[in-house]
Amino acid sequence: MKKTFYKGGALTACSSSMILLSAMLASQTVSAHGYMEVPPSRALLCQKGVNTNCGSAQYEPQSVGETFKGFPAGTGGAPLQGPIDGKIPSGGHPSFSAMDAQSATRWQLTEIKDRNIDFQWRYTQAHPATKHEYFITRNGWNVNESLKRASFESTPFCVVEGNHQLPVSGAKHNCNIPDDKSGQHVILGIWTVGDTDAAFYNAVDVNILGEPSLPGGWSSVGGITPSAQLLIGDKVKARAFSANGVSPNYDVEISIDTAEEGSPNNWAFKLAEKINSTHSLIRAGIRNENGNIEPVRGNNTLYAQKESGVTRYEVQLDMKEDTAARMSVASQQAEYVLDKGLANVQFSMISNRAMNVVEATLFDENNKPVGSVAKQVDSGPTWLTMDVRSNPGKHTLTLVGTTLDGRTTRQDTQPTHMTGEGAGIEHDFVFPEGISEYTAGTKVLQPKTNEIFECKPFPASGYCKQYTPTANGFEPGVGAHWHMAWDKI
């Protein structure tokens, strides 16, 4: 691939036509997907759990930053194209808007120790590439302001021509970061797709040190990521490791003594300060252009001198149970009426904490689950509904929920009663639930026909497990070859 290197000038402002173009993109379907892997993009670090509060980006970094090509300006007198100013990292997509947040401590910085760098992309769905470009923020850019065209140099410092060929994951784009760039910057990597109107814009947060080894003999050995709200009495411990295992002499622990200290950014700052006051060979914070390392209220990098022997740190949260958390079934009917074995069971629950997932399960008198529902709930009352297949008799409703911070689980169990007309023949599973456990004699309810089927004896019983949504030939009562595996009861 041909490589061309440039250095920046001035940018023009985004016009209203840019907004129109970005709005039009929402109506297009583009199958290309990919992300910057080396150095890791802002969204990829969300998926890895290094960056937090990322919204949908943590689940699909390959889709982040997709919008029209042409950044920073069109060609031949065309209007400005590409992402909207202020929404460059997200590509203007609301589901990825968390990526547009920008401050000095919002995102984990990847240290760049050598100005000669190999950029690498990961393509989950590759399309021909026109080119890959790499822009960088201007000297003196406002790190606490949302990213705009004016934040970046007007021309890329590196361009790798794609020649309309399919790009290969892991291929190296060798570039040189300009000599005048140091400290905290954002590199904007752009993959321009050759057979669509789209390009992918990936923000990469970096701390450019520009030397093979860090000034002063410091090496990066981990980080402090403020990931959870803590309560009084909780503890945070930075555990040190050497090449030979644990290195407890360099462990540091803090306790949360006030509600204010429990704020994620505040406890991260307190831990960084404690590390710096405890050990002379370990530092925590953000390195500035002069090489000084100072703690911040946000993401902090951990550094060690070679003579400490420390090669890695892990930060562990010791969170005590939230003894004040409460959750219970608030109201339910004394009995629910079955119609040919089916019923819609509604009940309410109440909690004084937001719950990550509340799981409600209804068991029949043989302790077989006959209905379930799972839902994230806020504090206060919540109505839940589950579809049930069962027979008349005594039943048990079990409610299990865990608080959003994961520190506390609560459970409530209440009896209830099912009346009316039962489902008839007993069955072991509702197809395809529990399919890995199907053996000769297993009875399943086929919800598509509301009929019961029994798995044939060996060797035909092996066909009972042969099912996927796209290969359903042996699906009971439905598949083209179901008679080879099942007997209808």
The single-letter DSSP state of residue 51 is S
Q: Name the β-bridge partners of 100.
A: none
The encoded tokens of residue 270 equal 């307190």
Where does residue 2 rank: exposed (0-12), middle (13-18), buried (19+ CB within 10 A)? exposed
Q: Would you state the pLDDT for residue 31?
A: 56
Q: Which of 112, 69, 116, 66 is nearest to 91 (CA)?
A: 66
Q: Would you state the pLDDT for residue 1?
A: 44
Q: What is the largest CA-CA distance in the chain?
A: 80
Cα–Cα distance for residue pair 296/400, rounded to 1 Å: 39
Q: Would you state the pLDDT for residue 125?
A: 84
3-state secondary structure (DSSP) of residue 223? strand
Q: Would you state the pLDDT for residue 215?
A: 66
Those residues of the chain that have pLDDT short of 70 are 1-32, 74-80, 210-215, 289, 423
3-state secondary structure (DSSP) of residue 18? helix
Q: Would you state the pLDDT for residue 24?
A: 42
Cα–Cα distance for residue pair 489/486, rounded to 1 Å: 9
Is 481 in contact with 473 (CB distance < 8 Å)?
yes
What are the two backbone dihedrals, phi and then psi, of residue 94, each rounded to the nearest 5 degrees? Answer: -55, -35
What are the two backbone dihedrals, phi and then psi, of residue 17, each rounded to the nearest 5 degrees? Answer: -65, -25
Distances (CA, A) of 217 to 208, 272, 274, 292: 16, 19, 21, 12
DSSP helix, strand, coil percent of the chain (3-state; round to 5) = 15, 40, 45
Cα–Cα distance for residue pair 432/400, rounded to 1 Å: 24
Q: Would you state the pLDDT for residue 26?
A: 39
Is 157 in contact with 178 (CB distance < 8 Å)?
yes
Q: What is the secondary structure of 113-126 as a DSSP string?
A: --SEEEEEEEEEE-
The residues, any chain, with a CB within 8 Å of residue 401's CB and separated by 6 or more, are 327, 351, 355, 356, 357, 358, 359, 377, 409, 410, 411
The CA-based dihedral angle spanning residues 41, 47, 53, 56, taken in that order and rounded to the nearest 10 degrees: 100
Q: What is the number of H-type helices and E-type strands within the chain?
A: 3, 30
**Parallel, antiparallel, or unpaired for β 336-338 and 409-420?**
parallel
Q: Which of 83, 49, 44 is nearest to 61 (CA)?
A: 44
Cα–Cα distance for residue pair 222/200, rounded to 1 Å: 29
The single-letter DSSP state of residue 165 is E
Distances (CA, A) of 228 to 225, 271, 326: 9, 14, 20
Q: Would you state the pLDDT for residue 220?
A: 80
CA 207 to chain CA centroid, Å, is 23
Beta strands in 149-280 (DSSP E): 158-165, 173-176, 183-193, 198-208, 218-224, 235-242, 245-246, 252-255
